[in-house]
């Protein structure tokens, strides 16, 4: 079996509205932090994989590879992907093949300057038919919720409980972000505010059910196991990185009460890593909306289909900082998730990996978790589009690397 790539350095910026900064300022800060934490210099890098969705639109930057080459002052191979997870997957393949020994993976986005100008671009990322029908980036989330309620016969009192559960998810993630110094929103909210926003907008889902638009950058240093040992005694290994896809048109999919790509990607990742769901105690899910967090727990296998609203509702009656699912403690989005940490698309997956690495190394500060039985494995889910592409990464510490 091939030895697994190791993460030996991580870095990120604070997410938020960075009107005063250019994309190069953001990726420079994140990249230097990653290199510094690895104890590595730019000259030690063999290659670089970077990600962004919209820099050509928001900042008129083309051929991002040359942009990064200029920042690094290096002529190494550099490739650009759309999502951070895509960049990470390709970097892992390159390390495992033996082609490279040390790679920088970075992601950046600068979205707040042109938010009103890029909404149509975001719509096209999700479903071109919805775009031509006038659907907004938020529309599909409400359609997903309605399809879920219809599929599992959730009505009247149960529907009210489901909607309260979604509000509690938002409150939970904002509370987690208070202890995250990099988060876009470091402030708590309450259920009343979530419900009031829905009522004010006269929508099923309101302002506090969705992740914000953010600016920011993230980076990590990925190395072969042999190279990693030159820099650290405590690497975090990428035990599995998988991808599954689905139709671009949500309405054309046979299954619409969740994302089949999440299920397939998770099943494959568990097989590759050689572990079970019981081994995973920290999970970063792609909560672009509160609906996504709820349904992802089903898609990834932690809760039976159609039961997540019920299980989470019970958990929030006496919430202790984690979900108690089938006798297991599962900590979800300890950094605040996309909802409160922020969502600069090309950098978002890197923030999810950043959090799991920090937790596995015991370096998460005030938000450090200490589950029963210890913490050996973590899992990251990143979604491109509206469930069109789903990546799952399983990370583990030193004893899990071989």
Helices and strands counted in the chain (H then E): 15, 11
pLDDT at 1 over 60: no
Domain ranges of the chain: 6-115+213-228
DSSP state of 14: P
Q: Give the rounded percent of residues in the chain with a pLDDT score beyond 90.
A: 88
CB 65 within 8 A of CB 104: no
d(CA 317, CA 310): 11
Q: pLDDT (tens digit, 9 = 90+) per residue, 258-294?
A: 999 999 999 999 999 999 999 999 999 999 999 999 9
Backbone angles phi, psi at 338, to 5 degrees: -60, -30
Instruction: Write b or e for each residue in 201-230: b if 16 or more Cβ atoms lie within 10 A of its Cβ, otherwise e.
Output: eeebbbbbbbbbbbbbbbbbbbbbbebbee
Sign of the dihedral defined by the CA atoms of residues 305, 309, 313, 316, in that order? positive
d(CA 339, CA 287): 6
User: Given strand 236-245, what is the order of strands in its sheet?
Assistant: 78-81, 47-51, 102-110, 215-223, 6-12, 236-245, 389-396, 377-384, 280-284, 328-332, 323-325
Which is nearest to 374 in space by CA: 282, 237, 240? 282
d(CA 72, CA 249): 39
**What is the gyration radius of the CA atoms in the chain, in angstroms?**
20
**pLDDT at position 402, please?**
45
Q: pLDDT (tens digit, 9 = 90+) per residue, 23-35?
A: 999 999 999 999 9
Q: pLDDT (tens digit, 9 = 90+) per residue, 107-142?
A: 999 999 887 788 888 888 888 777 788 778 889 999
Q: pLDDT (tens digit, 9 = 90+) per residue, 61-101?
A: 889 999 999 999 999 999 999 999 999 999 999 999 999 99
Q: What is the CATH number of domain 6-115+213-228?
A: 3.40.47.10
| β partners of residue 223 | 6, 102
Instruction: Write b or e for each residue in 342-355: b if 16 or more Cβ atoms lie within 10 A of its Cβ, otherwise e.
Output: bbbbbbbbbbbbbb
Query: How many Cβ atoms are within 10 Å of 155's Cβ, its own excluded?
Result: 11
Backbone angles phi, psi at 12, to 5 degrees: -165, 165
- The overall pTM is greater than 0.95: yes
Which is nearest to 142 in space by CA: 120, 172, 163? 163
Two tokens at 90?
């390709």
Strands 323-325 and 280-284: unpaired
């Amino acid at each position: 079996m091939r030895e697994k790539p190791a993460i030996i350095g991580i870095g990120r910026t604070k997410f938020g509205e960075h009107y005063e900064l250019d994309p190069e300022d953001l990726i420079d800060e994140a990249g230097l932090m990653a290199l510094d934490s690895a104890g590595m210099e730019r000259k030690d890098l063999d290659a670089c994989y970077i990600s962004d969705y919209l820099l050509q639109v928001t900042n008129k930057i083309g051929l991002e590879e040359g942009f990064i080459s200029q920042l690094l002052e290096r002529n190494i191979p550099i490739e650009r992907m759309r999502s951070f997870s895509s960049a990470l997957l390709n970097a892992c393949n390159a390390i495992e093949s033996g082609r490279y020994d040390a790679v920088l993976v970075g992601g950046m986005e600068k979205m707040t300057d042109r938010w009103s100008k890029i909404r149509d671009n975001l719509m096209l990322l999700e479903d071109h038919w919805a775009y031509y029908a006038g659907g907004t980036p938020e529309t599909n989330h409400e359609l997903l919720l309605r399809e879920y309620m219809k599929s599992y016969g959730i009505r009247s009192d149960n529907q009210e409980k489901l909607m309260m559960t979604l509000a509690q998810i938002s409150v939970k993630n904002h509370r987690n972000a208070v202890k995250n110094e990099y988060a876009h929103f470091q402030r708590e909210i309450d259920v009343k505010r979530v419900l009031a926003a829905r009522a004010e907008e006269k929508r099923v889902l309101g302002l506090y059910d969705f992740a914000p638009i953010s600016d920011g950058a993230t980076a990590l240093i990925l190395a072969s196991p042999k190279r990693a040992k030159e820099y650290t005694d405590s690497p975090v290994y990428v035990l599995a990185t998988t991808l599954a896809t689905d139709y671009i048109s949500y309405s054309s999919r046979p299954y619409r009460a969740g994302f089949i790509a999440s299920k397939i990607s998770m099943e494959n990742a568990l097989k590759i890593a050689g572990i079970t769901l019981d081994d995973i105690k920290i999970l970063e899910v792609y909560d672009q909306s509160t609906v996504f967090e709820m349904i992802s727990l089903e898609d990834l296998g932690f809760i039976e289909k159609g039961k997540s609203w019920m299980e989470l509702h019970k958990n929030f009656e006496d919430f202790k900082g984690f979900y108690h699912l089938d006798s297991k403690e599962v900590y979800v989005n300890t950094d605040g998730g996309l909802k409160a940490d922020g969502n600069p698309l090309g950098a978002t997956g890197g923030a999810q990996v950043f959090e799991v690495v920090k937790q596995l190394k015991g370096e998460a500060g005030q938000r450090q978790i200490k589950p029963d039985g210890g913490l050996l494995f973590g899992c990251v889910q990143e979604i491109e589009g509206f469930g069109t592409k789903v990546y799952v990464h399983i990370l583990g510490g030193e004893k899990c690397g071989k």
